[in-house]
Chains A and B, each alone.
Chain A
Amino acid sequence: MKVRLHIKGKNLWRLCTLIVLCIVLSCCYTIITGVDQPATAVVGSTVNITVHVNNSCNSGGTAHFVFGFLTPTGWNTAQNAKITYTSTKGNGNMVLIPSTTIAPNSNGVNWPLYMKNTFGNAGNLINDVQWTAYESDVPITYANGDKISGTVNITFNNIGADGNPTEVKLAYFVANDQNGFTSDGNDGDSSPTTEYYNEFINTTCFTLTGGTGDLVDFCNPQLTTIDPPKSLDNDIVTLTYNNNVTKTALAGAPAVYLCATATMSDGTTVTVCGQSANTMLTQTTSTSGIYQLTFWPRKLFGAVAGQTVVSMTYFITDITGAKQVGYGNSSSPFTYKFKCT
């Protein structure tokens, strides 16, 4: 009895030492070698994406494989994307990492925020994209010298759940739950990278067509943007006009003006097109070429109780109202629908 206990304790110590060593030395360099992603899809359809991953381990250990996916917020990726993995170490499902899980080496934030802090919006121009974090359902055990290859398979159902045709740069990253986004210089084993994580931004914009909403273009700079990107008539919205995107008739103007026609819930239209303080977009600095107006749509369009502002079409004009700039520097107006999805 005594002897058995002694042996158990010894094994326990060995196990503990091994675990501690694994945690300290758990390192697999990882890289995304390619992404199979369609260039275009229709709103509401199912899209399949395959991410190819290679790992090269310079020590043995155990870790969950972590995968992150950047998509527009309105797509409800956590609900609509089903993700599995196949690898030379086995196959399984990728499951959502709870938002309460703190990522390693992240200064105490969760995975989605860690990704946002590290990779930002991956070149998307509208701050309405989000990272969704997944991990392998079981930890993966690896040995020193292991070369692991695998794929992450995304089945994205009801893509574009917000109903908006979209141009967006999708981005992916891979990591493990021991190292987080760290790297070292010990690239002595012909591994593909010295990072324990890897990011892949698809620089070609993914185009989503169809849908009932307005085009949301994350890829190309727009003459006008509205913040918050999704708002109702009872929000305080900031309209930004960026005169640096292309050469327009308004170049060099000290201030520009909003000329808008709103459609109300009862079908009536209200036009606000005077060049006054209410419609003036002021330049952020004297030569920035960026003009802003922050307004309350209900007040600007004089909505009465029981009436809401559904949408607006608008031009940006000079102080005389004679020079007008519309969508894409054309003569057709910009459009905006007041909605939350």
Chain B
Amino acid sequence: MNNHFIFKKQAYLFIAAMAFLFTSCKIEKVAPVAESAKDLTGTWKVIQATRNGTNLIPIYDFSQFSIKFDAATGSYNLINPVPFLVSADGKFSLDDPQYPFKLTFTATGGQPVATAFNYPINNGSRQIILTFSPGCAQNTYVFTFSKSN
């Protein structure tokens, strides 16, 4: 009698546990958020520039220089050029539009020049930081661009 009651109690407990088990687990369907492709389209101007660590902004005029990227045609234009990775207009490409690590410039009629692509957000707007040596290899320049429009 006593035993029978215990078994019955265990059966109820088992059923209740199973009920909880089946209702507790829900498969949540998380919609994957696609990483946006990095669109460089626009005109970019130099806001910081260093040569071997020396700040060039007070001593060299970068105000006229800008790069215009057009993602639709894959081309870039240099306006009032300064010493840079490339010296003529041409095509550009990112190694991966979603997760780019490299930016490649190919001047018209020239060889592709690749550089590490650094694309941080500063004060809510994107910046491009490029490191390169247009002259002697031991002279390193770091330009920080921000979109001007």
Chain A interface residues (CB < 8 Å from chain B): 73, 227-228, 230-236, 238, 292, 294-296, 298, 305, 340
Residues of chain B contacted by A294 (CB below 8 angstroms): 56, 59-60
By CB atoms of chain B within 10 A, which of A228, A231, A236, A238 has the most?
A236
From B59, B60, B88, B139, contact of A228 by CB (8 A): B139
From A230, A236, A292, A305, contact of B83 by CB (8 A): A236
From A227, A305, A340, contact of B136 by CB (8 A): A340
State whether B51 touches A236 (Cβ < 8 A). Answer: yes
State whether B141 touches A236 (Cβ < 8 A). Answer: yes
Residues of chain A contacted by B87 (CB below 8 angstroms): 234, 305
Q: How far is the CB of B21 from chain A (nearest CB, A)?
A: 55
Name the prevailing secondary structure of the B interface residues. Answer: loop
Chain B 10-38 per-residue mask, 1 if CB under 8 angstroms from chain A, else 0: 00000000000000000000000000000
By CB atoms of chain A within 10 A, which of B60, B88, B135, B138 has the most?
B135
From A233, A235, A292, A305, contact of B139 by CB (8 A): A235
What are 21 inter-chain pairs, A to B, with CB distance below 8 A? Answer: A73-B138, A227-B54, A228-B51, A228-B136, A228-B138, A230-B138, A230-B139, A231-B136, A231-B139, A232-B135, A234-B87, A234-B135, A235-B135, A236-B51, A236-B82, A294-B59, A294-B60, A295-B60, A296-B60, A296-B82, A305-B87
Whether B137 sits at the interface, judged by CB under 8 Å, is yes
From A234, A238, A292, A340, contact of B134 by CB (8 A): A234
Whether B148 sits at the interface, judged by CB under 8 Å, is no
From A238, A298, A340, contact of B137 by CB (8 A): A340
Q: How far is the CA of A298 from the CA of B135 in the complex (A)?
A: 11
Q: How far is the CB of A338 from chain B (nearest CB, A)?
A: 8
Contact of A234 with B51 at beta-carbon distance under 8 Å, contacts A292-B59, A340-B138 already known = no
Residues of chain B contacted by A233 (CB below 8 angstroms): 135
Q: How far is the CB of A195 from chain B (nearest CB, A)?
A: 30
State whether A234 touches B138 (Cβ < 8 A). Answer: no
Q: How far is the CA of A295 from the CA of B51 in the complex (A)?
A: 13
Q: How far is the CA of A296 from the CA of B87 in the complex (A)?
A: 13
Chain B 119-149 per-residue mask, 1 if CB under 8 angstroms from chain A, else 0: 0000000000000001111110100000000
State whether A232 touches B59 (Cβ < 8 A). Answer: no
Q: Which 4 A-B pairs have the closest CB atoms?
A: A235-B135, A232-B135, A340-B136, A294-B59
Residues of chain B contacted by A235 (CB below 8 angstroms): 51, 83, 134-136, 139
Known interface pairs A230-B139, A292-B59; 11 further A-B residue pairs with C-beta atoms within 8 A, sorted by A's residue number = A227-B54, A231-B139, A232-B136, A235-B83, A235-B134, A236-B60, A236-B83, A238-B54, A294-B60, A295-B60, A340-B137
Residues of chain B contacted by A292 (CB below 8 angstroms): 59
Q: How far is the CA of A228 from the CA of B52 in the complex (A)?
A: 8
Q: How far is the CB of A302 from chain B (nearest CB, A)?
A: 13
Residues of chain A contacted by B141 (CB below 8 angstroms): 236
Q: How far is the CB of B115 from chain A (nearest CB, A)?
A: 16
Residues of chain B contacted by A340 (CB below 8 angstroms): 135-138
Q: How far is the CB of B83 from chain A (nearest CB, A)?
A: 5
Q: How far is the CB of B72 from chain A (nearest CB, A)?
A: 28
Contact of A238 with B139 at beta-carbon distance under 8 Å, contacts A228-B52, A296-B83 already known = no
Closest to A74 in B: B138
Residues of chain A contacted by B83 (CB below 8 angstroms): 234-236, 296, 298
State whether B136 touches A236 (Cβ < 8 A). Answer: no
Residues of chain A contacted by B56 (CB below 8 angstroms): 236, 294
Q: How far is the CA of A294 from the CA of B59 in the complex (A)?
A: 6
Q: How far is the CA of A257 from the CA of B20 in the complex (A)?
A: 88
Closest to B137 in A: A340
Contact of A230 with B136 at beta-carbon distance under 8 Å, contacts A236-B141, A294-B56 already known = yes
